[in-house]
Amino acid sequence: MIVVCGAGGFIGGHLVNSLLTRGEQVKAVDIKPFGSWYQINDKADNIQSDLGLRETCLEVLAGARHVYNLAADMGGIGFIEENKAQCMLNVLINTHLLLASQYHNVERYFFASSACVYAASKQDKQIAIALKEEDAYPAMPEDGYGWEKLFGERMCRHFAEDFGIATRVARFHNIYGPYGAFHGGREKAPAAICRKVIEAKLTGQSYLEIWGDGNQTRSFTYIDDCIHGIDLLMNSDVSEPINVGSSETVTINQLVDIIEKIACTKLERRYQLSAPTGVAGRTSDNTRIKQYFNWEPSMPLVQGLERTYAWVLGEMSMVTGGVNPSSSIL
Q: Are 242 and 288 in contact (CB under 8 A)?
A: yes
* Dist CA 306 CA 302 (whole Å): 6
CA nearest 175: which of 15, 294, 302, 10? 10
CA nearest 224: which of 11, 75, 29, 6? 11
First to last CA, the chain: 20
CA nearest 145: which of 237, 195, 83? 83
User: What are the φ and ψ backbone dihedral angles of 193, each rounded to 5 degrees?
Assistant: -70, -40
Options 68, 118, 145, 309, the catalytic residue: 145
68 given a catalytic annotation: no
Which residues are annotated as catalytic?
Answer: 145
